[in-house]
Structure 1
């Protein structure tokens, strides 16, 4: 049996993030492709993390110790690899940089046959770091190519980034396009699928966060005609900052006609409940200033919501199939409001809902994505 281990730094003991993204490749590789998967983490928040029983059935979580400080986590990871790297066929890491290079070098030193894979998890800032054409940066990238030689291959989540990065010496012939997917772990799909589409626009995330720019969506809603306001609901899903709650209160006072149209749900941790709301929603609207992938959009599309997105990152093109299945709009209230109104009044919206669902389930399903990763790894083992 092939053996893979993922070392995740920072708040790696947060089960919500593990099931949503970080641990799902491990889970699907073990469940559907017969891998022995281990998730190596650190106690930072919880003294004794309780793992989902289905996840733990296929992935073995191993705590490397109590460590909040990044440097302490690195020490613990190195100690583990010195002892157990010989028992690992594939070591999976996140991001890039000196820590990844050093961990990869140590793993190869202990076990020369180990395959080291780094999932770049790259946002716009990281992308700019590599494509910056200034001479000083070119020299720096040249040195990074040498330092990163112990990493066998990388993956990046955005097609545009992939097309650019694959031409650079540091990534040439060792980078693949592999997006994030939609986690169905511990979700009662039958319960979710029983629901039907309603006139709901949903937005998800930490409400009030500067990057999410939720105020823009509120301002766009205020421009919609009464005929739409009276027949649609706008669900804001996620924990709220106090500043946003005050902003919303003031917004409703100034726009009393919207009082019954805007719904603040609070944080929803039950994934069946969350996906049920996505299934009921006809539109997902994200007005972010900046994002990397924004898995919430993929989750909503997986259950048939049509995306209306600001141009917060290059991944909006991947999510919308190059704008064929979704609208990408400018970051101003007039553009967002117009885009919402156009799709709300589209007589073929429910057909588009089904097309979005079909697209998302084909391209962002973790079983399929894990199969792609499994095939790539076989070339190195």
Structure 2
């Protein structure tokens, strides 16, 4: 395929057979949607259609679903789809280095040598260091026209280590509700987290323990955990409240919120967003929290340095360190001046650096140039 011009309407397909509705407002769906809405791409997600996609009707209107036949093997099903559709696809969008994505890269370029591939690594250093770096792997990756990572530390690391050009394209947020900026007066003394509650990698027990250690010293503050609770964690919660009955009215669990306006309001009301994860790529909750004007408290994830502008708009602590977390909460909860200042500054920082529209402006340019 010759480099497409601004007059053409390139066909971009994100191939991810197990796509669910929730993925449409994450990077998998947002990148094709933004390129469609603002850059006139003909964008689709190729997937099994495991469930209905209500977000297609409103949040990502204009994004298409292209069905992949489900025979029970992702690698084979993806290749069967490409056998039928590769020549119609100008840009194939893939996420992650897996056996199936590597197979699809080779297959697509064989079937459509002029087509372009955008590979989003969706990675952290730990994941990348577990990959067996062979000459064959790099030969496959060289078939990609654009390869990107989501945080600056990994961007610099891979560009030194790999014989490839890696781009920095972070995850972002989108103002689905056309909401105005958040005023500090809207906010309450709430520490918020949004996650799969109880998932080992999310380490929500560290948040609960950290809050418990400092709760008496910040009596006007509440903790709110939004997300479906994993079954095994229910017993932990029961034990936590049995041992700390005075916190029953100050710690609230809310099931997963799919309505974008309702979820946005949770961020708008919270003064602090806290993420205790043991491992992440670039979680989208970071950008949503920044858009909501939250002060961010997080473990020392690579992406946390990016979203807080190296702790300018937040504080970071070592993984699994509930004591250090409690010290940070004590300090920050009692510093209303810093909380108010951060509410406004982090929104401006996020708009400049983590808006999906700005991010996809850069990606569109890269896709034209490469």
Q: TM-score, normalised by structure 1?
A: 0.88
Q: Map of 1:337-352 to 2, 5 A cutoff?
A: 337-348=326-337, 349-352=339-342
- 1:16 equivalent to 2:19? Answer no
Which position in structure 2 is the counterpart of 1:86? Answer: 87
Structure 1 residue 259 displacement after superposition = 1.6
Which position in structure 2 is the counterpart of 1:134? Answer: none
Distance 1:56 1:224 in 2: 42
Per-residue CA shift, 1:307-353, capped at 9, x if unaligned? Answer: 11112x31111111111211011231210000111111113111112
Q: Is the 8 A contact 1:42 1:73 kept in 2?
A: no
Which position in structure 1 is the counterpart of 2:74? Answer: 70
Pairwise CA RMSD of aligned residues?
A: 2.2
Distance 1:51 1:358 in 2: 27
Structure 2: give runs of 5+ residues left out of the alignment: 1-7
Q: Is the 8 A contact 1:193 1:276 kept in 2?
A: no
- 1:222 equivalent to 2:215? Answer no
Q: Is the 8 A contact 2:189 2:271 kept in 1?
A: yes
Q: Map of 1:339-378 to 2, 5 A cutoff?
A: 339-348=328-337, 349-378=339-368
Distance 2:80 2:144 in 1: 20
Structure 1 residue 196 displacement after superposition = 0.7
Which position in structure 1 is the counterpart of 2:5? Answer: none
Which position in structure 2 is the counterpart of 1:291? Answer: 280
Structure 1 residue 124 displacement after superposition = 3.5
Q: Is the 8 A contact 1:191 1:272 kept in 2?
A: no
Secondary structure of the corresponding residue to residue 171 of structure 2: coil
Distance 1:144 1:324 in 2: 38
Runs of 4+ in structure 1 off by over 6 angstroms are: 191-195
Q: Is the 8 A contact 2:83 2:111 kept in 1?
A: no
Structure 1 residue 262 displacement after superposition = 0.7
Given the alignment, which residue of 34, 37, 43 partners 2:43?
37
Secondary structure of the corresponding residue to residue 142 of structure 2: helix
Structure 1 residue 195 displacement after superposition = 7.9
Q: 1:212 to 1:145 in 2, by over 3 A?
A: same
Structure 1 residue 59 displacement after superposition = 1.7
Which position in structure 1 is the counterpart of 2:123? Answer: 122
Q: Is the 8 A contact 1:200 1:280 kept in 2?
A: yes
Which position in structure 2 is the counterpart of 1:175? Answer: 166
- 1:152 equivalent to 2:153? Answer no
Secondary structure of the corresponding residue to residue 336 of structure 2: coil
Distance 1:243 1:85 in 2: 43
Which position in structure 1 is the counterpart of 2:3? Answer: none
Q: Is the 8 A contact 1:192 1:276 kept in 2?
A: no
Structure 1 residue 114 displacement after superposition = 1.1
Q: 1:146 to 1:354 in 2, by over 3 A?
A: same
Q: Is the 8 A contact 1:282 1:304 kept in 2?
A: yes
Q: Is the 8 A contact 1:158 1:179 kept in 2?
A: yes
Which position in structure 2 is the counterpart of 1:61? Answer: 65
Which position in structure 1 is the counterpart of 2:249? Answer: 260
Q: Map of 1:298-313 to 2, 5 A cutoff?
A: 298-311=287-300, 313=301
Per-residue CA shift, 1:249-300, capped at 9, x if unaligned? Answer: 2212211221211111112111110110100000001111222212112211
Q: Is the 8 A contact 1:118 1:154 kept in 2?
A: yes
Structure 1 residue 7 displacement after superposition = 3.3
Give the number of equivalent residue pairs: 361
Q: 1:66 to 1:51 in 2, by over 3 A?
A: farther
Given the alignment, which residue of 5, 10, 17 partners 2:12?
5
Structure 1 residue 367 displacement after superposition = 0.4
Q: 1:142 to 1:354 in 2, by over 3 A?
A: same
Distance 1:148 1:17 in 2: 25
Per-residue CA shift, 1:39-68, capped at 9, x if unaligned? Answer: 21123x32x544522456422211122344
Q: Is the 8 A contact 1:104 1:151 kept in 2?
A: yes
Structure 1 residue 179 displacement after superposition = 0.6
Q: 1:305 to 1:34 in 2, by over 3 A?
A: same
Structure 1 residue 233 displacement after superposition = 1.2
- 1:199 equivalent to 2:205? Answer no
Q: 1:57 to 1:285 in 2, by over 3 A?
A: closer
